[in-house]
Amino acid sequence: MTRNAEVAALFEEFADRLEAMDVEYKPQAYRRAAENIRANATDIEVLAEEGQDAVEEIQGVGDAISTKVLEYFETGEIAELEDLREELPVDMRALLAVEGVGPKTVGDLYEALGVRDLDDLEAAAEAGEIQDVKGYGAKTEQNILNAIPFARESRERALLGDARPVADRLLAYLREGEAVERVDTAGSLRRWRPTVGDVDVLVASETGEAVVERFVGWEEADDVIEAGEQKASVRSNGLRVDCRVVVPAEYGSALQYFTGSRDHNVSVRNRAIEMGLKMNEYGVFDVRDVDDPDAGQRVGQRVAGETEAEMYEAIDLPWIPPEMREDRGEVEAAAAGDLPDLVHEGDVRGDLHTHTDYSDGRETLAGMLEAAEALGHAYYAVTDHATGPGMVGGVGLDDEELLAQVEDVREAAEAVEMEVFTGVEANVGVDGDLNVGDEALEALDVVVASPHAALDGDGTDRLVTAMEHPAVNVLGHPTGRMLNQRPGLEVDYDRLAEAAAANGVALEINSNPARLDLRGAAVKTAVEAGATIVVNTDGHSPPDLEYLRYGVHTARRGWAEAADVLNTWPVEEVRAFLGLE
């Protein structure tokens, strides 16, 4: 896994701090460089090892920025960024998490009121001081105050897409240790929740001290929070990472217990109690002949614990996939033999929502098709943005340009051995209208309709109206949420699912880790209503196409089987769903 996102974040912070200090031009250059670094397929650390010329091969990265990249990998910091942090001593990331607060606002409020963090911002808003700052009014102040609770919550949890790569690298590192017999993630990360509080890993070993020593010696550990004989914690890339070591005989019981969720564990423990058993992190124990079952954690005859499967078998249940362990009826379904055969990453055959540099993508049409083919896709849709309402900066295509792109896509498709669909991502207006004319819509293979603006309040009527348009095939990122940034539209998911099923429209799980929209519970509602799900990346660059894994696990959180997911179907069936046959 690359360190591109880590380095990109530094240059995004550069841009934010410079913009807050009214520096012109430079912020735009840093943001462009950050975007290209994040999207670059090659690990920037590898490029830095090759030298400055290799780093400068990234578009938008010139001498000044490449020098800073090399400085970061050589020293662990960028001196100029440290100077900016001292000059503007604010918690930039926390303040920008407040909807409506941008870098310029941060600079203004620090200069006028000394606002440094969320506590300062909240105090200033509650005291009515923000509305007295030139350019700000009472409405802005109230909006800021209303948005602070959401910002606080977002600060406490990291995106799955940020945490999972860290965990994957750590797992690979730990597996190389001689003392490690088994290792896996635990907690909400193993359940693939869209945000996580920290990274939890569980290790099976007879020598805990050796594992802890290896763990704290991980090169990506920025600092050690604590270290004992059986567990330790470090901080890596801003994330707290906890490692717990258990003996191999208790690995399965510990993995089941520490994966959670709490409500799921309560359900299975209650089932154990009804059977005269005691279930905890140390195993399953038969306590029917024990006078005091609460006398200790390991009282009674131990009947399971080495594997998770044993834990569930001991209470007459099949193994329940981690993504389902949210106490949404999975225990009852398992007991009845009705667990779904969940969709797997390998079931996905294509991607039906992607972008190129015709709109706001960061790669050419040919480059995106080549990347998709390399991933083994059987089919792929090019769905660049339409211009107009909901799009900023005129990056979309008008009807005439969309029709012209159709020919370009068909020509480019001749160079790859997969089915390539023409398409568009149309904006869903506040009344459910689309920003593309009917003639252009009819000429396209795939129409993705997505909300991009006015993302507050109840959006159910708006989305249902859009799905009733005969040209619409997919409802993209239905709530428009951005995790840890904005909550998005409120939606009646029962109505949404019914409308999707009635109109033959697929409800999208947008796999971008910043979205993961639909959420798991909404997917479950849709599946139960007979609606079709589609797992798309909304990819804007080749690396984005690998986001599919996050969408698939979100589908699993919603109990979706492969048959429920449009882009696991053979191309002939996809064409039929799209009305192309």
For the segment 540-555, what is each residue's pLDDT rounded down to a tens digit? 999 999 999 999 999 9
Give the span between the Cα atoms of 120 and 201, in whole angstroms: 36
Q: Is the pLDDT at 561 greater than 70, yes or no?
A: yes
475 and 505 Cβ atoms separated by less than 8 Å? yes
pLDDT for res 394: 60
Angle at 293 between CA 291 and CA 295, to 5 degrees: 95
Q: Write down the pTM of the prediction.
A: 0.84
Task: CATH 1.10.150.110 in the chain: give the residue spans.
Answer: 4-155
pLDDT for res 40: 79
Q: Is the pLDDT at 391 greater than 70, yes or no?
A: no
pLDDT for res 215: 98
- For residues 244-269, average pLDDT: 97
Q: Is 528 helix (H, G, I), strand (E, B) or coil?
A: helix
69 and 80 Cβ atoms separated by less than 8 Å? no
Q: Is the pLDDT at 390 greater than 80, yes or no?
A: no
List beta partners, residue 382: 422
Q: Is the pLDDT at 393 greater than 60, yes or no?
A: no
Q: Is the pLDDT at 396 greater than 60, yes or no?
A: yes
Confidence of residue 308 (pLDDT cuts 50, 70, 90): very high
Q: Are strands 223-227 and 195-196 parallel, antiparallel or unpaired?
A: unpaired
List beta partners, residue 533: 507, 565
DSSP 8-state class, residue 392: S
Q: How many CA atoms lie within 13 A of 140 on its CB side?
A: 16
User: 207-222: string of b/e by CB count within 10 Å (b at 16+)?
Assistant: bbeebbebbbebebbe
Q: By C-alpha distance, which of 162, 32, 149 is closest to 97?
A: 149
Q: Is 51 exposed, middle or buried (0-12, 13-18, 19+ CB in 10 A)?
A: exposed
**Which residues neighbour 43 within 8 Å (Cβ) at sequence distance 6 or greater?**
2, 3, 4
What Cα–Cα distance (Å) separates residue 425 from each residue in 381, 390, 474, 477? 11, 11, 9, 11
Q: Is the pLDDT at 348 greater than 80, yes or no?
A: yes
Confidence of residue 362 (pLDDT cuts 50, 70, 90): confident
Which pLDDT tens digit goes with each residue over 223-245? 999 999 999 999 998 889 999 99
pLDDT for res 219: 93
- For residues 135-153, average pLDDT: 89
User: 329-343: string of b/e by CB count within 10 Å (b at 16+)?
Assistant: ebbebbeeeebbebb
Give the span between the Cα atoms of 63 and 67, in whole angstroms: 6
CA 205, chain centre distance (Å) = 32
Task: CATH 3.20.20.140 in the chain: give the residue spans.
Answer: 345-577
CATH superfamily of 345-577: Metal-dependent hydrolases (3.20.20.140)
Q: Scanning the structure block, which residue is given the tokens 């870098």?
A: 103
382: tokens are 């090019």
Q: How many CA atoms lie within 13 A of 147 on its CB side?
A: 21
Give Dmax over CA atoms of the chain in angstroms: 81
Task: CATH 3.30.460.10 in the chain: give the residue spans.
Answer: 158-246
Q: Is the pLDDT at 306 greater than 80, yes or no?
A: yes
Query: Which CATH number is associated with domain 158-246?
Result: 3.30.460.10
pLDDT for res 392: 52
Note the CATH architecture for domain 251-335.
Answer: 2-Layer Sandwich (3.30)
The number of residues making up the chain comes to: 581
Confidence of residue 364 (pLDDT cuts 50, 70, 90): very high
User: 160-170: string of b/e by CB count within 10 Å (b at 16+)?
Assistant: bbbbbbbbebb
Which pLDDT tens digit goes with each residue over 103-136? 999 999 999 999 999 999 999 999 999 999 999 9
Confidence of residue 309 (pLDDT cuts 50, 70, 90): very high
Which pLDDT tens digit goes with each residue over 370-387? 999 999 999 999 999 999
Query: Which CATH number is associated with domain 4-155?
Result: 1.10.150.110
Which pLDDT tens digit goes with each residue over 163-220? 999 999 999 999 999 999 999 999 999 999 999 999 999 999 999 999 999 999 999 9
Which pLDDT tens digit goes with each residue over 53-108? 999 999 889 999 999 999 999 998 999 999 999 999 999 988 998 888 999 999 99
Q: Is 297 exposed, middle or buried (0-12, 13-18, 19+ CB in 10 A)?
A: exposed
Task: CATH 3.30.210.10 in the chain: give the residue spans.
Answer: 251-335
pLDDT for res 36: 87
Confidence of residue 157 (pLDDT cuts 50, 70, 90): confident
Q: By C-alpha distance, which of 173, 234, 150, 148 is closest to 198?
A: 234
